[in-house]
Structure 1
């Protein structure tokens, strides 16, 4: 699934159509959003010139005079539009991705220039997103940066920028990092990153491998931005002990039984051997948490409907209490899980908000991902080559060269007192170990 947004200001006539068509074919795009079309009306002939065949759907916002104009084109074998919403500076299509039957929404945005107009656009987008209530992607020219580093020679953030950042936080959007370039807009010596793509948390639940890259700028003053969703194998995941496991009454009993069943093995080998049964146990007891919660909520709703129809007795009340208790338990487990995944420093001081922690964890996962790496002056995207390059780099970095054997001469090192020597060689007591572990913060590893 690849789709793109491009502010085509600076491109004219047939040259504009040709460059957009080349972009679509080169990156195998399923959807293209164009900004600054400068067309009052977009016809099927215009769309066919860009798409190259008749199997395309489209929606547009007409230009005002020789300014503005939005156009969103998609492959009808890729996306089935159900609803469409339009504003002066934005276009939203809601529908179904046909490959995996996912309900979602695409927002094509052309941000305003003044602070007041920008605030008005953000309010409109918030309202429409509330109507859709589906995984959503916001893409386009927002005419605003998020960080000082995104505008060349900028020293501080404007009031409009701060309001834009607050809007992103309030909408629980994850701003996709642009991996292969720093800026997307260029004019003379000025350059900034005002073109971006942002997705909702539930979008990343469905498409966890979503990433953003830049395309060739050509004659335009903007670079096209391309959203890709490629499932890539990144090797085995490291094992992680989850805090939520300890909320299950049978967890410690299971670990004890498996540990004893491993017999006489080296401690590290037993830990390694324990990971497989732990993964199986996790899948059985903690798999599909959202579906478990949804089923419990549906059962509670059925009980409420029966009570509303006059069916009520002690058994019904007991069942409802049991369902509520079980549902609450899963809410807590889900919150603990995403709180640990986010590793947020503010987690202790904040209200319980699973969606917040989920958003932090998703953003962290995206920012930590290495999609490309410069190796010996060349940009490498192949994951296998990236892993080899990283391994060879650290192998060379920590390589120990042969060195002469040196001895300590008298006076080179001061002698320590016998009391200090004994203290250094004394094994830590059980009380000291317990104190070090108990003082360790949750989900953290103590020092040496």
Structure 2
């Protein structure tokens, strides 16, 4: 079914080695296909839906699906975008049960349908940001270029590396030292971000005070010198933040002097969503459960780094 304006269309596909299309029916918001199994000639029918978003059209939507159910007596599978939820907890920010939610729930009950449980997300419907998945543990450690531009950073790294005393095989010693340096670096980054945030507030407040005094005619050379130092420090902190977000977003074509980090925030968020593992396919099976995905990954690397001999 083709799209209508900005609304998406409907596409129903099946494996022709397993199923043969026998009949079809096209409505205003649904597309139904009767399929006959090649193996035993049994029949089912599937309905793909794209529900209307306007409330006044939803009643006609349920009526259309009632008509579809009466067309055939075979087992029925229905799926797609209903543009509706059954319960308050299925939509982010929903606070009350509406008539349309009740109508959706009644439709499922009247036709003895089974609502498949949700997996991998908190909501079936969420505006704007993607639904937040469960915590998958700490994020991977990545060194940021901006950290190395901080004063005394090379000296600080050397002190951390030398501080931890360890004995044993060289690879074990290096691994312990790297983990210790990573831990200390994360602590330093957390403290620095908190300091920079508070420092920016003070600098911006002081810049406003000096500008006000000069506007009132109370400025002098000392104020102008202080303003120059404060602006230089202020720009330095903003530049540090911009470099950090630019690396996270992997966008390199903007000029170094651009202080607007909103674009980099957006690109970094897009990359973070694109890097998330929502499911894995292992040995021909699609896995969506978080614990099962974790187990598959661990087993893969255990086999990869296990030694068969000396």
Partners of 1:7 and 1:22 in 2: CA distance: 8
Structure number with bigger Rg: 2
Choose the corresponding residue for 2:140, options 219, 238, 241.
238
Residue by residue over 1:230-257, the C-alpha shift from the partner in whole angstroms, topping out at 9 and shown as x without a partner, is: 3621112222222111222132222222
Q: Is contact 2:147-2:153 (8 Å) kept?
A: yes
Q: Is contact 2:196-2:237 (8 Å) kept?
A: yes
Q: Is contact 1:212-1:225 (8 Å) kept?
A: no
Partners of 1:231 and 1:295 in 2: CA distance: 37
Residue by residue over 1:69-99, the C-alpha shift from the partner in whole angstroms, topping out at 9 and shown as x without a partner, is: xxxxxxxxxxxxxxxxxxxxxxxxxxxxxxx
Q: Is contact 2:91-2:123 (8 Å) kept?
A: no
Determine helix, strand or coil for the equivalent of 1:271: helix
Q: Is contact 1:213-1:225 (8 Å) kept?
A: no
Classify 1:284/1:258 alpha carbon distance in 2 versus 1 (closer, same or farther; 3 Å).
same
Partners of 1:369 and 1:383 in 2: CA distance: 12
Q: Deviation at 1:364?
A: 0.9
- Report the counterpart of residue 85 of structure 2 in structure 1: 23
Partners of 2:130 and 2:292 in 1: CA distance: 20
- Report the counterpart of residue 298 of structure 1 in structure 2: 205
Larger helix proportion of the pair? 2
Partners of 1:325 and 1:227 in 2: CA distance: 36
Aligned length: 219
Partners of 1:295 and 1:253 in 2: CA distance: 28
Q: Deviation at 1:356?
A: 3.1
Q: Is contact 2:90-2:123 (8 Å) kept?
A: no
Classify 1:364/1:226 alpha carbon distance in 2 versus 1 (closer, same or farther; 3 Å).
closer
1:356 and 2:260 correspond: no
Choose the corresponding residue for 1:249, options 151, 156, 169.
151
Q: Is contact 2:51-2:61 (8 Å) kept?
A: no
1:8 and 2:52 correspond: yes
Partners of 1:398 and 1:262 in 2: CA distance: 28
Partners of 1:51 and 1:264 in 2: CA distance: 63
Greater RCO, 1 or 2 (C-alpha within 8 Å, sep 6+):
1
Choose the corresponding residue for 1:383, options 290, 295, 299.
290
Q: Deviation at 1:365?
A: 0.9
Partners of 1:390 and 1:268 in 2: CA distance: 22
Q: Is contact 1:373-1:379 (8 Å) kept?
A: yes
Determine helix, strand or coil for the equivalent of 2:165: coil
Partners of 2:248 and 2:177 in 1: CA distance: 25
1:50 and 2:100 correspond: yes
Larger strand proportion of the pair? 1
The gaps in structure 2 that reach 5 residues or longer are: 1-49, 66-80, 103-117, 168-172
Determine helix, strand or coil for the equivalent of 2:158: helix
Classify 1:328/1:21 alpha carbon distance in 2 versus 1 (closer, same or farther; 3 Å).
closer
Partners of 1:246 and 1:290 in 2: CA distance: 19
- Report the counterpart of residue 334 of structure 1 in structure 2: 241
CA RMSD of aligned residues (A): 4.3
Q: Is contact 1:21-1:50 (8 Å) kept?
A: no
Residue by residue over 1:162-195, the C-alpha shift from the partner in whole angstroms, topping out at 9 and shown as x without a partner, is: xxxxxxxxxxxxxxxxxx9xxxxxxxxxxxxxxx
Alignment of 1:280-319 (within 5 A): 280-287=187-194, 292-319=199-226
Classify 1:248/1:396 alpha carbon distance in 2 versus 1 (closer, same or farther; 3 Å).
closer
Q: Is contact 1:372-1:380 (8 Å) kept?
A: yes
Classify 1:245/1:378 alpha carbon distance in 2 versus 1 (closer, same or farther; 3 Å).
same
Classify 1:325/1:259 alpha carbon distance in 2 versus 1 (closer, same or farther; 3 Å).
same
Partners of 2:297 and 2:158 in 1: CA distance: 38
Q: Deviation at 1:328?
A: 0.8
Partners of 2:213 and 2:186 in 1: CA distance: 39
Determine helix, strand or coil for the equivalent of 1:339: helix
Alignment of 1:89-108 (within 5 A): none
Determine helix, strand or coil for the equivalent of 1:370: coil
Q: Is contact 1:342-1:358 (8 Å) kept?
A: yes
1:279 and 2:205 correspond: no
Alignment of 1:215-234 (within 5 A): 229-230=131-132, 232-234=134-136
Classify 1:367/1:262 alpha carbon distance in 2 versus 1 (closer, same or farther; 3 Å).
same
